[in-house]
Chains A and B, each alone.
Chain A
Amino acid sequence: MNLKVPKAVEPLFEILGGVVASLKGLGITLKHLGRKPITIQYPEQRRDPFPRFKGRHVLDRHSDGLEKCIGCELCAGACPADAILVVGADNTPEDRRSPGERYAEIYEINYLRCIFCGLCVEACPTEALVMSNAYDLAADSREALIFTKDMLLVDAPLQVRPSDEILPAGQEVGDYKMIKEALGGGEGSLERPYDINLDG
């Protein structure tokens, strides 16, 4: 059925359509007025990133406390952004830092350059270099964003490696709090805004 609308009346229909559309819009904004905001108060509340989120790096240790990094510079070679500087040195019996012959005397990552691609992590032969979930990398000077070895190296060996693990559904991302604590970073909020279900 095709109703023929007289030409003179057409603008009226147009106006009516506009009014209806505007009222619909007003309804939507009113509906949202009564809802809980979905934004969070960032510095105080933090959202837990996904388990395999590529945050800033950490240098792992062996369970006996020795550094995993052997100062091979493969990460620096793999880095497309030329963000990593490694200068190796020989281990001596008096000062043994890593199980191999050499260790990293200087290890620096420049986070102004890093593009968080993770190629360095893949290049690492000893799995010393791992990406954590820490994402708030901001500073008020360029120098502060060049992370040195003492900032990157963890105090205790990592229990869970972020890039290996896929969480079963319902398990807290909070497992990775350990890493954050190892990093001395801020505590994640216990309230999670969204349920992460990686199985479904």
Chain B
Amino acid sequence: MRAAVVLLLAKVLIVFGAILGMVLFIIWFERKAVARMQSRIGPNRWGPFGLLTSLADGIKLFFKEPVTPDGAERFTYALAPVLALIPAFLAFAVIPFGDGVTLFGERVDFVIADLNVAVLWVVGMGSLAVYGIVLAGWSSGSKYPLLGAVRSTAQMISYEIPLSLSLIPVVMLAGTLSMRGIVDAQRGGFGDITWLPDAIAGIGNLIPRWHIFFQWPAFLLFLISGIAETNRAPFDLPEAETELVAGFHTEYSGIKFAMFFLSEYIHIITISAMAVTMFFGGWDGPGLPFLTWIWPLVWFMGKTFFFVFLFVWLRATLPRMRYDRLMMLGWKVLIPASLGWVFVSAAVIVIGQQ
């Protein structure tokens, strides 16, 4: 019993530290990659290739004076960044980041909590993140953050619907809401392709049975609404500093601002990890015979990092959307499309079973 608690705490601490480290790395990576895409050099002063830049930024934010505006609702103002950060961390708790390892004769799964409603948990934590934003905007006691918060809340609530709906076909295919179950459902190949000549029919075994191959419309819907849900370009209206006076975090500074910043980047990791787990086989991938537990970890990190790069790439490329167009895309395109795809997938699955 006690061993299990210690193990769990150790896992939580390791994942917590790993996420913080990843965030620091991603912030540096984003600044560097965007700079290179714009033919600039990017951060290069602190550490090799400027790798310590985000650490320096973090230290700076930590020691900055935390200003509380006069009109602010003090308690809520201090609470809001925490409310934004906690769900961001919690969402990651159910994502399996590797297969597992046998330590001292005991099996350790590479997931903090293998919930049987894991998918629901991630979506739910995404919804809770809205509280941080709306309370931050309201408690700042200033009109710009309030308007920004209303804007962001409307966006996040709108895009939650297609985000959740796009996960339903995957859940139907896997027949489980557990992340581990969904990863297991994607392991192995497609098997012999019967309509091909016998000599090359076996090629089907080499193609991994990832959901992306048949669920790519769901994946596209998930990706688009996931970008909007994380408030990233081209849907980064909540923090459109150039034209909309930032947003809910206008009045925040120092460590409180850092918490909002941190939660945004954790959301990026979570959405990328979700995309990998739901559509790209999670930690599934070929490994080498030695150190068998490390290859799933490597695969998971590599795949997740690809999606993080995609986020950065999109940010460097696409201009910000107009707000009415953003809403139009969400309600008139993504929601009908995701609903329609749920019906199509359901029909195909039912026909396949008969």
Contact = CB atoms under 8 A, between A and B. Distances in A.
A26 B313 contact: yes
Interface in B21-63: 33, 35-42, 44
Nearest to B37: A29
B317 A37 contact: no
17 contacts: A15-B333, A22-B318, A25-B317, A25-B318, A26-B314, A26-B317, A29-B37, A29-B316, A32-B38, A32-B39, A33-B36, A33-B37, A37-B35, A37-B36, A37-B42, A39-B39, A39-B41
A15 B328 CA distance: 13
Interface string B250-294: 000000000000000000000000000000000000000000000
A22 B317 contact: yes
B149 to A, nearest CB: 29
List of 3 A-B pairs having minimum Cβ-Cβ separation, nearest first = A29-B37, A29-B317, A25-B317
Nearest to B33: A33
B128 to A, nearest CB: 31
A3 interface: no
A28 interface: yes
Is chain B's binding surface mostly helix, strand, loop or mixed?
Answer: helix
Interface residues on A, range: 10 to 19
Interface of B: 33, 35-42, 44, 313-314, 316-318, 333
Contacts of B42: 37
A35 B38 CA distance: 10
- Chain A binding surface, main DSSP class: helix
Contacts of A37: 35-36, 39-42
B31 to A, nearest CB: 13
A28 B314 CA distance: 11
Contacts of B37: 29-30, 32-33
B39 A28 contact: no
A39 B36 CA distance: 10
A8 B2 CA distance: 65
Nearest to A31: B37
A170 B210 CA distance: 59
Nearest to A28: B317
A35 B39 CA distance: 7
A47 to B, nearest CB: 14
A41 interface: yes
A39 to B, nearest CB: 5
Interface centre among A15, A25, A29, A41 (most CB of B within 10 A): A29
B172 to A, nearest CB: 26
A38 interface: yes
Interface string A24-56: 011011101101011101000000000000000
Nearest to A21: B318
A80 B317 CA distance: 46
A32 to B, nearest CB: 5
A38 B314 contact: no
Interface in A145-184: none
Interface in A1-31: 15, 22, 25-26, 28-30
A15 B333 CA distance: 10
A4 B116 CA distance: 53
Q: Which of B33, B40, B314, B316 has the most CB of A within 10 A?
A: B316
